[in-house]
């Protein structure tokens, strides 16, 4: 994680919030007709594509106010590892949350709101560090879990007044995205092995570029072992270096 990635995540989430608030103004001025046209209506083929538009709409000012802070915080925590990965995460969550509502929610009530995305980002932040084996992200996931555990109460089946199916679908999508978007690593080296460096890779007093014996053979001081760059301690050092610590 770098300062540039943090800046990009803040800009993206600020833009996201600005967009949904602008749409809320337009929706309110039009008597919330956008909800009718672009909300999810269960089992309706004509509203299937609206799984991609419903997260940007809300039923009232109270609805969007309640969603804005957790959306920004959890969205930022999900986005600081890279915007492309964040956009893929958002797509996956929109599909799983929206399809859960379209397929399994009963009745003919419309569903709109960013709650499904919020639950998806929450699930993703919780598991990302475990799947990536990243100590910083594990700590971030624990902090997010402690701060926002209460939102899981509205994912309980039968919760009145909310689309708990959409919330549960978003949460499942976030966990799925954590697995699909996990950091890919090269195959681990054999136990006990280490990277062997050539003469030109040495640095230190008296050996700026290494020395070789006549005939091209390295002297006994021309090779060294370097810890594998992908072990947890090395990754933690890189994270701290990126943060300037």
Separation CA 1–CA 200 (nearest Å): 30
Separation CA 200–CA 180 (nearest Å): 39
Using CB atoms within 10 Å of the CB of residue 37, give its burial: 0 to 12 exposed, 13 to 18 middle, 19+ buried.
middle
Using CB atoms within 10 Å of the CB of residue 115, give its burial: 0 to 12 exposed, 13 to 18 middle, 19+ buried.
buried
**One digit per residue, pLDDT tens: the chain, 245 residues?**
688 999 999 999 999 999 999 999 999 999 999 999 999 999 999 999 999 999 999 999 999 999 999 999 999 999 999 999 999 999 999 999 999 999 998 878 899 999 999 999 999 999 999 999 999 999 999 999 999 988 887 766 666 667 889 999 999 999 999 999 998 766 554 455 444 444 444 444 444 444 444 444 444 444 444 555 556 566 655 665 655 55
Contact 157, 164 (CB under 8 A): yes
Structural domains for the chain: 3-180 (1.20.1540.10)
Separation CA 12–CA 4 (nearest Å): 12
pLDDT at 214: 46
Separation CA 104–CA 119 (nearest Å): 18
pLDDT at 237: 59
Helix (H) or strand (E) holding 116: helix 115-132
pLDDT at 193: 45
Q: Across the chain, where does the E strand assignment appear? A: 195-196, 225-226
pLDDT at 200: 42
Q: Specify the 3-state DSSP secondary structure of 41.
A: coil
- The vertex-117 CA angle with 111 and 123, nearest 5°, equals 130
């Amino acid at each position: 994680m770098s300062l540039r990635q943090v800046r990009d995540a803040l800009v993206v989430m600020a833009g996201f919030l600005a967009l949904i608030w602008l749409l809320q103004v337009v929706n309110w001025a039009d008597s919330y007709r956008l909800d009718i046209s672009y909300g999810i209506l269960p089992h309706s083929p004509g509203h299937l594509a609206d799984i991609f538009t419903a997260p940007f709409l809300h039923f009232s000012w109270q609805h969007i106010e309640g969603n804005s802070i957790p959306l920004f915080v959890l969205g930022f925590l999900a986005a600081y590892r890279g915007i492309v990965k964040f956009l893929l995460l958002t797509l996956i969550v929109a599909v799983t949350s929206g399809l859960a509502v379209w397929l399994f929610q009963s009745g003919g009530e419309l569903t709109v709101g960013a709650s499904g995305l919020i639950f998806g980002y929450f699930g993703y932040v919780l598991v990302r560090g475990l799947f990536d084996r990243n100590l910083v992200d594990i700590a971030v996931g624990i902090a997010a879990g402690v701060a926002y555990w209460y939102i899981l109460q509205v994912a309980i089946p039968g919760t009145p007044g909310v689309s708990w199916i959409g919330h549960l679908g978003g949460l499942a999508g976030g966990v799925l995205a954590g697995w699909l978007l996990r950091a890919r690593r090269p195959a681990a080296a054999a136990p006990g092995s280490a990277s062997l460096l050539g003469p030109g890779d040495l640095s230190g007093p008296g050996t700026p570029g290494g020395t070789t014996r006549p005939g091209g053979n390295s002297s006994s001081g021309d090779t060294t072992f370097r810890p594998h760059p992908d072990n947890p301690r090395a990754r933690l050092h890189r994270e701290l270096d990126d943060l300037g610590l």
